[in-house]
Amino acid sequence: MLPGALGLAVLLSGGEGTTRSERDVAAGLPSVAAREPEVKAVLVNLLENSRGAIHEGGTIRMDAARDGVGLVLRDDGSGIPPELMPRVFEPRFSTRSTRTGLGLTIVRRLVESWGVTVAIESDPGQITVVTLGLRRWPRKGGGSPEEPPS
């Protein structure tokens, strides 16, 4: 399964206000080739961005594919203007003055270190979708999911 079931219930339910969280994460997902603390860091950064973009009553939804090779996070917040999309992974780039602009940079660095990709699509004022590719942990020869293969 994904590390610690990703603590999805805790991560999604955190936060203030009337934000709704939804998830479709099957039980018994396979282990993935990523370290649990890194997966949590990626999810925390993505969820913080979503929470900052949505308005009262907005929704954040997370889905994990049954095959364990994909994770999708959607929010119905303010979105990302098309002219800013090329910059979202740049260090210190933020649309909010109270943020460091490092969250998505960290996400991209970690995800790429796992040998997979992260993609963001946004329709301003409608929806933003972040898709993470994940790789199954190769169980041949054993090994711990804490230390992914090089």
Structure tokens at 127: 């929806």
User: Alpha-carbon distance 111 to 78, whole Å?
Assistant: 25
Determine, yes or no, domain membership for 87: yes
CATH code, 67: 3.30.565.10
Strands (E), 1-150: 20-25, 59-64, 70-75, 118-123, 127-133
Q: Which domain holds residue 44?
A: 3-133
- Residue 142 domain flag: no
Residue 49, pLDDT score: 86
Residue with tokens 């999911």: 145
Q: Is residue 31 part of a domain?
A: yes
Point out the residues of the chain with pLDDT beneath 50. 1-6, 8-10, 148-150
The domain tally of the chain equals: 1
Tell me which residue of 22, 93, 92 sits closest to 64, measured CA to CA. Answer: 22
Query: Is the distance from CB of 120 to CB of 128 less than 8 angstroms?
Result: yes
Predicted structure pTM score: 0.78
